[in-house]
Structure 1
């Protein structure tokens, strides 16, 4: 497993982070990895303004680095009442399956527990992403039985499966 440095992102990181997110989720470059949405959704995954909004007090945008090179990120947000939300987990497609995602998830869970006093964390995954859902299940997440609509209207529509994990104190 590749050991990386994980730290909170700052605004100066965002122009270098944005292309990593896009490569991981969308377009031809995403197909080099196994966690992409390129076959289901097209267009930009996020933008600098949205990434900037994740730097506020109710959210932590964590980045994985090898020296000065950004390898991936994850966002964890406080939802209140002991609940945190994990999202925007990505690793550069050329580096996926090397343990960086697992390290980012662990850092997000620690940030949720220590920074937001969360006792549980949830995420949503496109229901058609069986391999990715299985990965989260192997890492302690469980299907809640709840589904939510995909945040962007599509034809045909996509649904999101809600996965939840109890965080140890």
Structure 2
């Protein structure tokens, strides 16, 4: 078995990329996996317009993993400048979660952030109400910075909150 390979997503990947992200984060399909936001948020996770913005911005990329020709995982990397990269939107096909793809993608993202952006720090935000996911990232070496950021509660582009106390905690790791 060869295993997954990574590459930078292109505009041709938009339909499959969008489908993967929505399956991983929202609705009944997301509940197949061990981690999702389906109990916290309804609506969409992203849209084709946002993904197009990411793919056409030189400071941002979508890194994707393919296995046997199928897209199985993706994430966004952003060059925030000053040696910091941001990792977001990590998505793993729900049926394949808990099989090591998330760890594979984190390692690939860290290497890509160093090579592409010259990053020495990776930063991310995770919804505070997802303690199991925060703990998973902490096991990968990420630490809470003590900072929080507001969740865009009134922006339907990021979902429809089921509760009004959602906020992000900031995690970081030296690369």
Measured against the shorter chain, the TM-score band is over 0.9
Number of positions where the alignment pairs a residue of Structure 1 with one of Structure 2: 167
Structure 2 distance, partners of 1:84, 1:29, is 30
Residues 141-160 of structure 1: pairs in structure 2 closer than 5 A: 141-153=142-154, 154=161, 155-160=163-168
Any stretches of 5+ residues in structure 1 without a counterpart? none
Structure 1 position 3, deviation (Å): 2.5
Residues 13-24 of structure 1: pairs in structure 2 closer than 5 A: 13-24=13-24
Normalization by structure 2: what TM-score? 0.91
Structure 1 position 49, deviation (Å): 1.3
Per the alignment, in what secondary structure is the counterpart of residue 84 of structure 1?
strand
Deviations 1:15-57, CA, capped at 9 Å, x for gaps:
1111111010000110000110000011011111111111221
- The equivalent of 1:64 in structure 2 is 65
Structure 1 position 14, deviation (Å): 1.1
User: Is structure 2 residue 104 aligned with structure 1 residue 96?
Assistant: no
Structure 1 position 118, deviation (Å): 0.8
The answer to whether the Cα contact below 8 Å between 2:153 and 2:164 also exists between their aligned partners in 1 is no
- The equivalent of 1:111 in structure 2 is 112
The answer to whether the Cα contact below 8 Å between 1:2 and 1:99 also exists between their aligned partners in 2 is no
Normalization by structure 1: what TM-score? 0.94
- The equivalent of 1:33 in structure 2 is 33
Structure 1 distance, partners of 2:76, 2:116, is 13
Per the alignment, in what secondary structure is the counterpart of residue 168 of structure 2?
strand
Larger RCO (CA within 8 A; separation ≥ 6): 2
Structure 1 position 2, deviation (Å): 8.3
Q: CA RMSD in A?
A: 1.4
Deviations 1:122-164, CA, capped at 9 Å, x for gaps:
0000001111000000001000000111123345231101000
Per the alignment, in what secondary structure is the counterpart of residue 54 of structure 1?
helix
